[in-house]
A = this chain, B = another copy of it.
Amino acid sequence: MLAGTVASLVAPTALGLGAAPAAAHGNGNHGKPDKDKGKPDKNKVRRLTMYAEALPGGLVGYGLEPGKATVPGPTLEMWEGETFEITLVNTTDKRLSLHAHGVSYSHDSDGSPLNASFNEPGQSRTYVWRTHAAYTTKGGQWMPGSAGYWHYHDHALGTDHGTEGVKVGMYGALIVRRKGDVLPDRQYTVAFNGMSINNQVAPNVPVFEANEGERVEFVAIGHGNAFHTFHLHAHRWANNRTGYLTGPNDPTQVIDTRDLNPGDSFGFQVIAGEKVGPGAWMVHCHVQSHSDMGMGGIFLVADKDGSVPEHAQAALHRYQGHAHP
């Protein structure tokens, strides 16, 4: 538990983004992962119902229960070999859908109007996402497994590419894990959506909290019409599937800045405050005009016992006090 004050969400910004009430904010519960997302049956099938709902300020979000939609939407997790059967209930008066990256789906679960795979207003529709471990084809070709930091989003609201849907908040992380992957203590979705982070701009980007030493997982998602570069202060990760090097001979580039463009996603885990200590660590788009206009938030690393050092509280206050043009 953090002793300091966490930024509360306030009125809509000058950029016309909706004000998401605290309850409608994704990454709820201080990043603690919610594991109850459809327990798999003996055939490794997880069944879920998701609700597409209008939120204040013109937003639309996905939620796992009626009245609980969030932006970003809930982080969905599965292990290679499992299947998600997700029944999407469209409570809105517009068509919309559910489209996933990375997992395997048949044409009728594509989520695209092109394939007549979407929900009419008021309609429910089941989307089936399958995954598999790596395998060899009959022809001897080694095929990758489905594991990865993927994402899902609308593909039908507004245009045939879901342009209005992603703009107003219909997106979320989809993590497919491989046997042996380590689960995090905290988990945050950071979506660079248009000129916002999770449909908010500073100082309303919700704080990403952790205690020093915790394993924190970030899933970064890009959406919209602009290019961005994701940068995190004082931490770094390997530019591969997991963000971790495999050992001393792994030549993968280790980075703290990465392109994050529309439709793309990546993820990694850090040990919060490792070698740097607690602090209010900036996480922002490094395109200068974007950061200056508010595409920045804080990864607030408290002490191991959860108390926020004075210097970090001071930084948080500076972040909350300022307004962006």
Contact = CB atoms under 8 A, between A and B. Distances in A.
A305 interface: no
A229 B282 CA distance: 26
Nearest to A150: B256
A286 interface: yes
Nearest to A250: B251
Given A107-B311, A182-B141, A262-B286, A134 B240 contact: no
Nearest to A138: B213
Given A251-B250, A280-B107, A142 B244 contact: yes
A265 interface: yes
Contact of A241 (B253, B282, B289): B253
A5 interface: no
A83 B312 CA distance: 24
A172 interface: no
Interface stretch (A22-30, A59-67, A87-95, A112-120): A112-120
A80 to B, nearest CB: 11
B163 A289 contact: yes
Interface stretch (A36-44, A47-55, A69-77, A219-227): A219-227
Contacts of A101: 231, 256-257
A134 B287 contact: no
Given A114-B315, A291-B161, A240 B252 contact: yes
Contacts of A236: 102, 144, 146, 148
A82 interface: no
Interface string A276-310: 11111110101111111000101000000000010
B275 A234 contact: no
A34 interface: no
Interface of A: 101-102, 104-108, 110, 112-116, 130, 132, 134, 137, 141-148, 150, 159-161, 163, 166-167, 182, 215, 222-225, 227, 229, 231, 233-234, 236-242, 244-259, 261-266, 271, 274-282, 284, 286-292, 296, 298, 309, 311-312, 314-315, 318-319, 322
Given A224-B288, A225-B289, 8 more contacts: A101-B256, A102-B254, A116-B315, A141-B244, A161-B296, A225-B287, A257-B263, A259-B261
